[in-house]
Amino acid sequence: MLRRPSTLLLAALGFALAAALIGVAALATGIGARVDAAVLEAFAALDGARVHALADDVVRFVDPAGYVVLGGTLVALALARRHPRHALVAAVVLAGAALTSQVLKSLLAGPRPYETSAAADIVEAAWPSGHTTGATALALCLVLVAPVRLRPYAAAAGGAFAALVASCLVVIGTHYPSDVLGGFCVAAAWVALGLAALRLTDARVAGIVLRPRAMLIPTAALVLAGLGAAAAFALAQPDRAYAFAQHHTTFVAGAAVLAAGGLGVVASAALALRDDASRA
């Protein structure tokens, strides 16, 4: 199903519509803006000097210079593997996603319907997050250019990277949660368009075809490892774990949504590419 160009085009439209719905909810409705602010405040409560410094270091990976270097590396990798079509798609996706996020920021700049002190450092031109768009586009293109057998691991690593960058942006108070969710959707829409173009120009199926379950095993293992670590902490220090969950319920829910967004988007791309014509 996912190898049909029409399905991929519908997926691109779906991600675009999802971005629009998120934007309308956060930028034009009171209830959406209040939820957005509440999650931001929950993340900001965990901010501190050490956390802020670490989060800043993570975000710098997708600053403009880093984005160009990492994107160029992915394009070069595709060319080195003799897949010029994949290199071209990666280059177009990386450039298109970044440009789209900047244009949308300018068009949608304005005050939020609900103010919060946690948003003191957030500029009016912030939706969608350019850094999240860039991190997600890089993660998706990593899956695209990786050898077929390595794509499940590329998806897990890339999804974790996108989710980490998104979370760091909210923790340090430079973006609302809706900004980073919008960034996920913008990058995903561009990649879906790129994959549709690949299918339209070459309908071959690879000699190596991985089952859907095989594509998701590393991502599932990553999620289970995180849940296992949380469970171990809860069992070792039940009082502290209960107190944290009780006082940071909004943070826990918001973190789960951001993690699901980053990992889910990249895992979906991996599923779409499980029988791509590139060879291992």
| pLDDT: which is higher, 263 or 220 | 263
In the chain, the amino acid numbered 151 is R
Average pLDDT estimate for 129-144: 96
* Both tokens assigned to 94: 């990386």
Provide the pLDDT for residue 1.
47
How far apart, in whole angstroms, are the C-alpha atoms of residue 198 and residue 3? 10
Q: Degrees (nearest 5) of the Cα angle 267, 271, 277?
A: 130
| pLDDT: which is higher, 79 or 199 | 79
How far apart, in whole angstroms, are the C-alpha atoms of residue 204 and residue 212? 18
Q: Long-range contact list for 199-207, CB < 8 A, 24+ apart?
A: 199/3, 199/4, 199/5, 199/8, 200/5, 201/85, 202/85, 202/277, 204/277, 205/3, 205/275, 205/277, 206/148, 206/275, 206/276, 206/277, 206/278, 206/279, 207/279
**pLDDT class of 210 with cuts at 50, 70, 90:** low
Provide the pLDDT for residue 80.
95
Q: Degrees (nearest 5) of the Cα angle 258, 264, 266?
A: 110
Instruction: Give tens-digit pLDDT for 239-277.
Output: 666 666 666 788 888 988 999 999 999 988 887 776 665
Provide the pLDDT for residue 2.
54
Say what percent of the chain tops pLDDT 90.
Answer: 62
How far apart, in whole angstroms, are the C-alpha atoms of residue 280 and residue 274? 11
How far apart, in whole angstroms, are the C-alpha atoms of residue 194 and residue 89? 6
At residue 280, does pLDDT exceed 50?
Answer: no
Provide the pLDDT for residue 85.
92
- Residue 138 half-sphere exposure, CB side, CA atoms within 13 Å? 25
Q: C-alpha 142: how far from its chain's center?
A: 13
Instruction: Give tens-digit pLDDT for 49-80.
Output: 888 999 999 999 999 999 999 999 999 999 99
- Residue 111 half-sphere exposure, CB side, CA atoms within 13 Å? 4
How far apart, in whole angstroms, are the C-alpha atoms of residue 72 and residue 87? 9
Average pLDDT estimate for 197-220: 70
Provide the pLDDT for residue 207.
47
* Both tokens assigned to 215: 């594509």
pTM to 2 decimal places: 0.90
How far apart, in whole angstroms, are the C-alpha atoms of residue 182 and residue 34? 17
**pLDDT class of 184 with cuts at 50, 70, 90:** very high
Provide the pLDDT for residue 204.
55
How far apart, in whole angstroms, are the C-alpha atoms of residue 122 and residue 175? 6
**pLDDT class of 168 with cuts at 50, 70, 90:** very high
Provide the pLDDT for residue 181.
97
> Cis peptide leading into 152, omega within 30 of 0?
no
Q: By three-state DSSP, how is residue 190 classified?
A: helix
How many other C-beta atoms lie within 10 A of the C-beta of residue 62? 26
Provide the pLDDT for residue 198.
87
